Amino acid sequence: VNKYIYLNNAATSYPKPQSVISAVNAYLNSIPFHSQRTGFDLQQRDIINDCRTKLAKLINAENQNRIIFTSGATESLNLAIKGLSLDEGHVVTTSMEHNSVLRPLKHLEKDGYIELSIVESDEKGYVSATAIEKHFKKNTKAIVVNHCSNVTGAVLDLESISRITKKNNIIFMVDASQSMGVLDIDVQKCGIDILVFTGHKSLYGTPGIGGLYIDEDIELKPLKTGGTGIKSELLYQPKEIPLYFEAGTPNMPGIAALNAGLDFIFNTGKATIKNKKEEIITEIYSGLTSIEEVQLQSIFNSEFIPQIISFNIKGISPNEAGYILENSFGIIIRAGLHCAPLIHKNIGTFPEGSIRVSPSFFTTIEDVHSLINSVQQIRKMEVKN
């Protein structure tokens, strides 16, 4: 029996569906007949193809070979940001980005490869297409936006952003780390050129697996070169996609887990998962708003229920509150800047950050009641002090 209540699913999801654990187990218990991916090991190839097919279906990608496996969103973002020919052009991003977007871009800027503009979000962490468009210049080559903030849960309107990128002939890159598996994403409808995802959050996979979708019209240089299991006589990377980007032995247990995670999503239904999470978030939101000392940073209204709630308790630092929640009440949340430093300046929580609660499909109403009771008790402790 687990004595903890886990509310840190925006970092990594827990628990994983039993079918995911079984898939990893089954993979590790079977003989890897051939360590190369194009040998005789049909089972291994089937898992990779199956997983690519399901990912393409989830985001409505026309060609599943345009889905590339990586070790996670961080590698995907590095591949995409460093692999584009930006030719000292201008790139636009937002203050709601994770460091896995900000740091590669800031390094390219520092080294003189790009000019960078960062669009500030509003006080709830939202960035509109109009705010982004104001930063476009004649030499703007690409934009990188976070679909769903890992701090406030704010969700950007990809369709309206895509209209302005198409109008201005700008490459449209989206970080879907927080949204894929829960929110609808249609790369064709939203005109997305590059979509980045990670496997261990709402896709229920294991840490160390992720990927990206690259539109047919986009040219990228690979981040790494090496063995592909095909054309081994060549001393240069074979151009066949997806292998062009996938040098090295693939993370098979990770792909097997992701494959089973995707089955879980399709079998349960995306709408069912989203509705359940919204029900839980609504309960958390109403519990927290009833506590006077709680300051909430997430948008929540009749038209929008976020996946994540960020808040602070007056008079206590988020880190201290996080420590007490974990050590006195057995509730795991995340406190601090959540690897997204700039948004905190917009929402008024810099430099200490916020308390972030991120439930999953498996969170129960009882878990929520424990959280609310614990926050009430922490507040009382503070009043006494």
Ligand X SMILES: Cc1ncc(COP(=O)(O)O)c(C=O)c1O
Are 210 and 246 a contacting pair, CB within 8 Å?
Answer: no
In this chain, which stretch among 104-112, 120-128, 172-180, 269-277 interacts with ligand X, using CB under 6 A?
Answer: 172-180
Distance from C-alpha of 225 to C-alpha of 44, rounded to nearest angstrom:
22
| Of 293, 339, 342, nearest in space to 316 by CA | 293
Question: In a 3-state reduction of DSSP, which class is residue 153?
Answer: coil
- Residue with smaller CB distance to ligand X, 92 or 316: 92
- Residue with smaller CB distance to ligand X, 12 or 117: 12
Q: What would you report as the CA-atom Rg of the chain, rounded to the nearest whole angstrom?
A: 21
Instruction: Check residue 178 for interaction with ligand X (CB under 6 A).
Output: yes
| Of 369, 358, 371, nearest in space to 308 by CA | 358
Instruction: Check residue 104 for interaction with ligand X (CB under 6 A).
Output: no
Task: Determine how many CB atoms are found less than 10 A away from the CB of residue 175.
Answer: 29
Instruction: Check residue 287 for interaction with ligand X (CB under 6 A).
Output: no
Among 181, 205, 210, 211, binds ligand X (CB under 6 A): 210
Burial class (CB in 10 A: 0-12, 13-18, 19+), 362: middle
- Residue with smaller CB distance to ligand X, 89 or 210: 210
In this chain, which stretch among 128-136, 173-181, 325-333, 353-361 interacts with ligand X, using CB under 6 A?
Answer: 173-181
Scan for tokens 């934009």, then name that residue: 143
Distance from C-alpha of 60 to C-alpha of 64, rounded to nearest angstrom:
9
Smallest distance from the beta carbon of 100 to ligand X, in angstroms? 4
Residue 44 φ/ψ, nearest 5 degrees: -65, -45
Task: Determine how many CB atoms are found less than 10 A away from the CB of residue 176.
Answer: 26
Among 17, 23, 61, 72, binds ligand X (CB under 6 A): 72
- Residue with smaller CB distance to ligand X, 47 or 203: 203
- Residue with smaller CB distance to ligand X, 91 or 294: 91
Compute CA distances 199 → 104, 109, 116, 177, 195, whole Å. Answer: 21, 29, 29, 8, 13
Interface of this chain with ligand X, residues 139 to 168, rule: CB under 6 A: 146, 150
Among 9, 13, 44, 74, binds ligand X (CB under 6 A): 74
| Of 74, 4, 8, 3, nearest in space to 336 by CA | 8
- Residue with smaller CB distance to ligand X, 200 or 379: 200
In this chain, which stretch among 170-178, 252-260, 355-363, 365-373 interacts with ligand X, using CB under 6 A?
Answer: 170-178
Compute CA distances 277 → 65, 182, 198, 220, 343, whole Å. Answer: 32, 9, 19, 36, 24
Among 8, 93, 94, 100, binds ligand X (CB under 6 A): 100
Interface of this chain with ligand X, residues 3 to 62, rule: CB under 6 A: none
Interface of this chain with ligand X, residues 239 to 268, rule: CB under 6 A: none
- Residue with smaller CB distance to ligand X, 100 or 162: 100
Type of residue numbered 172: F
Smallest distance from the beta carbon of 207 to ligand X, in angstroms? 7
Compute CA distances 256 → 65, 202, 345, whole Å. Answer: 18, 16, 40
Among 54, 90, 98, 334, binds ligand X (CB under 6 A): 98
Among 93, 198, 202, 297, binds ligand X (CB under 6 A): 198
Instruction: Check residue 179 for interaction with ligand X (CB under 6 A).
Output: no
Q: Vertex 212, ends 211 and 214: CA angle to 5°?
A: 150
Site string for ligand X, 327-346 (x = CB under 6 A): ------------x-------
Residue with CB nearest ligand X? Answer: 72
Smallest distance from the beta carbon of 292 to ligand X, in angstroms? 30
Cβ within 8 Å of residue 223, ≥6 positions away: 75, 78, 79, 82, 83, 245
In this chain, which stretch among 171-179, 184-192, 231-239, 258-266 interacts with ligand X, using CB under 6 A?
Answer: 171-179
Give the binding site for ligand X (CB under 6 A).
72-74, 98, 100, 146, 150, 175, 177-178, 198, 210, 339
